[in-house]
Structure 1
Amino acid sequence: MEYPGWNGFLGTRASFMLDAVCLGMVLVLAILAWSIWLVRKQNNYQLHKRVQLTLAGLLVIVLTAFEVDIRLHGWEERAAGELGGSPSSGVYYVLWVHLFFAISTLVLWVMVIVRALKNFPRPPLPAEHSQSHRRWAWLAAIDMLLTTCTGWVFYMMAFVL
């Protein structure tokens, strides 16, 4: 069946952007883990800052392109598959759980970045803000992991099964 927009490259019903984001999140999690390792094990605060700001910027660009693709081409027709109709209610439930984590991740990341830029010295070094930053940044990282995992579950339910 032919769907609107670019067709994906993973052999599912998903669009190109859905496939790209699904695979790209593996890279995002790996970069996030490396960035945490940089600061925790290498004390490389400057590179950690650069990596985090670059990752945040790239995520804004990619996720904006993703949202434009979803708004232009939708996802429900693809999720319904060969049989037509509409996706199952379970798909919508998983989507809402995923959106909860995605939105909370966005809020947490913006908060952590803004507070870090405001409260750490330049160049970045441990400071009074470090303990708070560590707590909220870990929460944001865990939220990113949950966003990714729920996104993969949604992808599987909507476009593979």
Structure 2
Amino acid sequence: MPDAVAPLELLASLPGYDGFLGTRASFMLDFVFVAMLAVLPVMGWSIWMVRSRRAYTLHKWTQVTLAVVLLAAVAAFEIDMRMHGWQERAVATAAGGVPAAVWGALYVHLVFAISTAVLWPIVIARAWRRFASPPAPGAHSRSHRFWARLAAIDMTLTALTGWAFYWLAFVG
């Protein structure tokens, strides 16, 4: 039975609130992991609705809602990371440090996360200013399609690389 107690004692000694997925991750890491599982399908559904059903208003408000929800989640996440960090919870090497593969996964993830954090609000702001109300195809449509596709790809890569980092750091 001592082996069963040791992981619980370890988790109790880690900074921040424990997560709910049964890994070493904090609550906010688990929350963002699960949130991205919801964001990608909702984003895909919104894109499908505008392309196949021409539901421009629904697409607009779905994207704005996703942006607001993600902004709140990322802000809470960043506050948690600044207050409690993540390295103490991460899988350690025999020497006690975070493995190089975890750092590599984090850096790749940050490339996509930062570019998404810049690109997505720009796409939304430009659409807000340049489309009529209610939204309809117009002179901005071609540009919007290009940049929105790029932003959607970027968001998808942010999620995929975030999940890879999470797995390497807190599960593997």
Superposition deviation, residue 80 in structure 1: 3.6
AA matched with 1:25: M
Per the alignment, residue 43 of structure 2 pairs with 32
Per the alignment, residue 138 of structure 1 pairs with 149
**Structure 2 unaligned spans of 5+:** 1-9
User: Map of 1:84-99 to 2, 5 A cutoff?
Assistant: 85-99=96-110
Superposition deviation, residue 83 in structure 1: 6.3
AA matched with 2:162: G
**Mapped contact 1:77–1:84 kept (Cα < 8 A):** no
AA matched with 1:65: A
**Mapped contact 1:102–1:147 kept (Cα < 8 A):** yes
Percent identity, please: 55
Structure 1: distance between partners of 2:29 and 2:55: 34
AA matched with 2:53: Q
Superposition deviation, residue 82 in structure 1: 9.5
Shift in CA distance, 101/82, structure 1 to aligned 2, threshold 3 Å: closer
Structure 1: distance between partners of 2:107 and 2:155: 15
State the Cα deviation string for residues 107-155 of structure 1 (Å, max 9, x = none). 1101101110111011100001001100110110000000000000000
State the Cα deviation string for residues 31-76 of structure 1 (Å, max 9, x = none). 1001101100110101110110011001000110001111111100
Per the alignment, residue 120 of structure 1 pairs with 131
**Structure 1 unaligned spans of 5+:** none
Q: What's the secondary structure of 1:47's corresponding residue?
A: helix
Per the alignment, residue 58 of structure 1 pairs with 69
**Mapped contact 1:12–1:159 kept (Cα < 8 A):** yes
Superposition deviation, residue 81 in structure 1: 5.0
Per the alignment, residue 165 of structure 2 pairs with 154
Runs of 4+ residues over 3 Å off in structure 1: 80-84
Structure 2: distance between partners of 1:11 and 1:111: 37
**Mapped contact 2:33–2:163 kept (Cα < 8 A):** yes
Per the alignment, residue 11 of structure 1 pairs with 22
TM-score, normalised to structure 2's length?
Answer: 0.90
Return the index of the structure with the highest Cα Rg.
2
> What is the number of equivalent residue pairs in this alignment?
161
**Mapped contact 2:102–2:165 kept (Cα < 8 A):** yes
Superposition deviation, residue 84 in structure 1: 7.6
Structure 2: distance between partners of 1:28 and 1:65: 17
TM-score, normalised to structure 1's length?
Answer: 0.96
